[in-house]
Amino acid sequence: GKDPGVVGPTGLQEKDLVLDVGLKLRDFLVERLGVEVVMTRDRDVFVPLEERTAIANQIGADLFISIHANGSPNRRVRGIETFVLDFSSNEDERRVASLENAGSQRTIAALEDLLRSIARGDYKQESRDLATIVQSRLHENLSKSLTGQTNRGVKQAPFIVLIGSNMPSILTEVGFISNPSDEKYYRADSSRNLLAESLYTGVENYFQSLGNFQTAYRATST
């Protein structure tokens, strides 16, 4: 829709990349695990950040995964990182949150409710467990074909899209399309397939780690 997100040096738009990856991930989850996947968008439309979490809550989703691509004024910056909801005192974490929160319709009057939601954090540990597994699979797989990739790890920041979720929730930044090499890499369909495969493996491994893995889970991907 109206918000392209990060735009790479030669015009690759975040919104197009992550929608394609999200659709591929949906297909893998449905075909291989038999789960129900609800997309917050399955075409090029704008969905406010707050509505994405509301969709997941309304359907009673078991997981919420928000897929993004990163950007930096320094085009040499590269790497994959996965976030969970929490406060942050780190400048880089706050920068990413500010970038991803830019489309929010929240007002300052809602700040107290937001802070209470973050502090409550009913699924903090589950979200961190999911983020750790997904981050590991992403870096492990992508570093084989994208040389020089950096594992930026699991981080925390106050992302509006994750606030108020009633299930384990993560936001993953699959790379910096502001980097010319990464932008070129992510234009290829094979690279997007690998991204979706890596996210799928992370979700499957997380379910397996719970010890009572079944294929009756529901998942939400954005």
Give me the helix-helix angle, 180-187 and 189-209, nearest 10°.
Answer: 90
List, as one string, the DSSP characters of 62-116. S-EEEEEEE--SSTT---EEEEEES----HHHHHHHHHHTTT----GGGHHHHHH
Q: What is the Cα–Cα distance from 218 to 40, expressed in whole angstroms?
A: 14
Residue 166 has pLDDT above 80, yes or no: yes
pLDDT band at residue 85, thresholds of 50, 70 and 90? confident
How confident is the model at residue 197, as a pLDDT?
97
Residue 206 has pLDDT above 60, yes or no: yes
CA 206 centroid distance within chain = 15
Give pLDDT tens digits for 7-36. Answer: 999 999 999 999 999 999 999 999 999 999
The pTM is what? Answer: 0.86
Mean pLDDT, rounded, for 93-113: 60
- Give Cβ neighbours of residue 63 (< 8 Å, ≥ 6 apart): 130, 167, 168, 169, 203, 206, 217, 218, 219, 220
Q: What is the Cα–Cα distance from 214 to 195, expressed in whole angstroms?
A: 24
How do the residues of the chain divide into helix, strand and coil, expressed in percent and rounded to 5?
Answer: 45, 15, 35
Residue 109 has pLDDT above 50, yes or no: no
Q: What is the Cα–Cα distance from 59 to 126, expressed in whole angstroms?
A: 19
Mean pLDDT, rounded, for 126-152: 94
Residue 77 has pLDDT above 70, yes or no: yes
Work out the mean pLDDT of the chain and round it to a whole number.
Answer: 87
